[in-house]
Amino acid sequence: MLIQNASWITMEGAASTAVPVFRKQFTGGKPVRSAALEVTCDGVYEAVLNGRRVGDFILAPGWTEYRRRLQVQSYDVTDLLGEDNTLEITVANGWFRRTNAPWTGTENPDEFLPAMLIAALHLIRDDGSEEFILTDDTWEVSESTVTLSGIFIGEDVDMTRMPCFEPARICDFPKDNLIPQEGPEVHEQETVFPCASFRTPRGEWVIDFGQNLTGYMVFETEARAGEKLSVSTAEVLDREGNFYTANYRSARSQLHYICREGRQYYKPRFTFFGFRYLRIDEAPEGFTADQIHAVVLHSEMKRTGWLNSSDPMLNQLFSNIVWSQKGNYLDIPTDCPQRDERYGWTGDGQIFCRTATLQYDVRQFFRKWLADMRAAQHDNGWVPEVIPSLTAYKPGGGAWSDAVTIIPWQLYQTYGDISFLSDMYDAMEKWIEYIPTVSTAKDLWTGCWTYGDWLALDAPEDYHPATIELAKRGYSNDDLICSAFYANSVHIVIMAGRILHRDVRAYEALHSRITAAFRERFGGQLNTQTEKVLALHFNLTDQPQALADALADQILACGTKLQTGLVGTPYLLHELSRYGHSDIAWSLLLRKEYPGWLYSVSKGATTMWEHWDGIKPDGTFWDDDMNSYNHYAYGSVGDWVFSTACGIQPAEPGFARARIAPQPDPRVKHMSAVLDSVHGRIRSFWKYTGNGIRYEIDTPVQTEIVLDGQSRVVEKGSYVLFGGQEIRRNPAGNNAV
Ligand code: BGC
């Protein structure tokens, strides 16, 4: 890359929080045939050439394992060039220098670096001559109009501030980590307009967008120089209807904008917010709600999956799952987009991954993140609990760091692309080789830190009363959870290894030993719902039907309620259905009371909540500290709806052949799933009629259709089946949604 010839530059004496704008002025000279700009920085940047924004990548260069991989963007800027040119690139903290971020580790020197830029402009003239404009000390730099910026802070802007340019200083910073852009760019997506503007009981002026979203506010207004617009963000209102921000914790998440004279338009340039409500804390005279709107941001990804049903509450749940994916697939898969976290939690990533691959084409998105996971993996094999890694973080225990095996395997299942396995195989092997080095028991994974069945509901009231941190984990045995995930990771390495023609005999023997050790140690202690679910899901019990029946009884005995947390919930409905208890799976899905998937919907949720009772029936909050309203983990139920309720399953990786085995329930009149697989559109629809269930199935590949336990194999085409009989067939296919 040309950028290797450029120098890193910075602003002399600038504090790490300063947001400088770097400038280069140059003349176009002879007519230019093409002009390409390569650029990156230690933060996030916005490049503007002759007053026009370069590209539409928001928050470039994105978030990667920076010390090893820093993406460089290349833009064609031919159309932006003129005779006299001014290139301005503003650099803000972004994810690199996370001002006010907790837990990043004070030993992390990156937190205190000043803003730095590296760029190279390549001009090719009509006569074939070339010119290179590289960042060096001929560039100038000034403080920009952005006076404070941070992913968690938001943005402070002073449009009355006049630039004062001085020469930039060349600085020493690595270039061996520079790589071409890999991930899909983050782009502006839909625009959302306010649906209400009102005063709260406390007298606050609040604007409601009707949808919890990730993005920013955009406004256009007429103002006097020095007038201010200050905006705060919130996901929910409290029981009294007042603006509520405590769940953002230390994330200030505000915009403070000092106006210049006249008409002006602004949107934050170096941050993003998770919000449904805005509070206008201060505004220019005459400002009205229709002068502000919201723009949604997420990584570019094509929608591939749709769910629909006769039940409006279910449809709202499906919408909430999609919105939580959009809100948390912003360059990396995050736990939540609003509070002072927004990290690439490996556990949450793997929990939701299956649903995510069905709703959107996330191949490129995960290709980049998995490359960061490889870069972050330690030499001895441990995988950090968040990716990109943070210095203060630990190895993730069972179900978290196992993302290193689970996610590539899932991507292979959905897309049939073997490169996900070949790219990750060494990292997977290193991971399962690491576990025995830290475990206290042979052929199990015991005695290590883990988050357990995070947020499960089965801990007795007095469990771990001293530490709230531990009380959030439910009652499942940590060693059992870790050992079950160890078995699963070894199993995935075996399956991947076979596909890649590796010698996996030692792992096969290891897996048998883990299974035996698991039965010996935990076979008689499968007490909690999650413990049972894991033993079933990872095939670690020798009496699966009896265990599944016991799980069903346990759920019924506590009032048809789930008690599982992040670890058990994604598999719960699958295991119930697999062993003949789909009626209970449906009951859990349709449950409108806490805990149930439709409870949050009944409380007006427009995204998935972190807690089943983020807002309690009496309107109070679960907690201020850990209460995200845009947390996709429990949205993982989406894959049960696709693959079991509507029955769309890959019979071969990538749906090269399909299996469609719907399990309808009369409490829902009709339901459909559409999946644009890499082999074409698959659709499964069922409807209860007066005389029985009508099924409509479209498939682009040979498919085994299983209805009421009866199987038939069909070629590609569209089928209508009724009362177990095929009543219509259209081999040409019918691709209507
Ligand atoms: C995150 C979770 C994450 C967890 C680890 C939380 O703060 O929001 O979703 O997996 O930490 O237990």
Residues 554 and 660 in one domain: no
- CATH at 701: 2.60.420.10
Q: 10 Å Cβ neighbour count for 111?
A: 17
672 DSSP β-pair partners? 308, 685
CA of 613 to the centre of ligand 1 (A): 16
**In a shared domain, residues 354 and 421:** yes
Indicate whether 402 belongs to any domain.
yes
Q: Are residues 713 and 628 in the same domain?
A: no
Domain residues for the domain of 282 are: 187-299
Q: How far away, in angstroms, is 181 Cα from ligand 1 center?
A: 28
Would you state the pLDDT for residue 111?
73
- The length of the chain is 737
Instruction: For residue 81, tell me if it sits in a domain.
Output: yes
Q: For residue 464, what pLDDT is reported? A: 47
**38 classed as catalytic:** no
In a domain, 735, yes or no: no
Please name the residue whose Cα sits nearest to atom 2 of ligand 1: 335
Contact 329, 187 (CB under 8 A): no
On whether both 98 and 28 belong to a single domain, the answer is yes
Same domain, 87 and 207: no
The reported pLDDT for the residue numbered 736 is 43
Q: Identify the domain boundary among 599, 615, 645.
A: 645
pLDDT of residue 426: 98
Q: Facing residues of 220 across strands?
A: 265
- In this prediction, residue 588 carries a pLDDT of 98
Helices (H) and strands (E) in the chain, counts: 14, 37
Q: Which atom of ligand 1 is nearest to the CA of 610?
A: 9
Q: Which amino acid is at 51?
A: G
What span, in angstroms and rounded, lies between the C-alpha atoms of 313 and 315? 5
CA distances to 362, 409, 646, 663, 719 from 660, in Å: 23, 21, 8, 10, 12
Interatomic CA distance for residues 92 and 94, integer angstroms: 6
Asked if 334 and 390 sit in the same domain, the reply is yes
**Are both 392 and 504 inside the same structural domain?**
yes
Q: Residue 525 has what DSSP assignment?
A: G
Q: Is residue 332 part of a domain?
A: yes
Q: Are residues 245 and 319 in the same domain?
A: no
In angstroms, the CA 271 to CA 250 distance is 15
Nearest residue by C-alpha to atom 6 in ligand 1? 335
Residue 156 has which token pair?
């402070």
Using alpha carbons, select from 405, 406, 487 the residue that is nearest to residue 445: 487
Beta-strand runs (E) in 151-204: 154-158, 166-167, 169-171, 178-180, 186-192, 196-199
**Roughly how many angstroms between the first and final C-alpha of the chain, as a whole number?**
44
Q: Which residues line ligand 1 (CB under 6 A)?
A: 335-336, 341, 345, 347-348, 451, 454
Position in ligand 1 atom list of the atom nearest CA 348: 10
Tell me how far the alpha carbon of residue 734 lies from the centroid of ligand 1, in angstroms: 43
Residue 66 maps to a domain: yes
236 and 317 assigned to the same domain? no
Q: Residue 155 falls within a domain, yes or no?
A: no
Please report the DSSP string for 527-546 in residue order: -SHHHHHHHHHTT--S-HHH
Cα 584 to ligand 1 centre (Å):
28
- How far away, in angstroms, is 335 Cα from ligand 1 center? 7
| 542 lies in some domain | yes
**240 given a catalytic annotation:** no
Q: Which atom of ligand 1 is nearest to the CA of 347?
A: 10
Which of 253, 271, 299 is the last residue before a domain boundary? 299
Half-sphere exposure of 566 (CA within 13 A, CB side): 26
Mean pLDDT of each 10-residue bin along the chain, 737 residues long: 97 91 88 94 97 98 96 97 95 82 57 92 93 97 96 96 97 97 98 98 98 98 98 97 95 97 98 98 97 98 98 98 98 96 96 98 98 96 92 76 98 98 98 97 94 86 51 85 98 98 98 98 96 98 98 97 97 98 98 97 97 92 88 98 98 98 98 98 97 95 95 96 79 52
Number of domains in the chain: 4
441 and 529, same domain (yes or no): yes
How many angstroms does the Cα of residue 456 sit away from the middle of ligand 1?
Answer: 13
Q: Which of 38, 46, 143, 341 is catalytic?
A: 341
In the prediction, which pLDDT does 461 show? 62
The CATH number of residue 222's host domain is: 2.60.120.260
Query: Exposure string (b/e) for 65-91, b if CB count within 10 Å is 16 or more?
Result: bbebbbbbbbbebeebbeeebebbbbb
Is residue 352 domain-resident?
A: yes
Do 638 and 660 belong to one domain?
no
Q: pLDDT value at position 462?
A: 56
287 and 335 in a single domain? The answer is no
Please identify, among 645, 666, 699, the residue that sits at the C-terminal boundary of a domain.
645
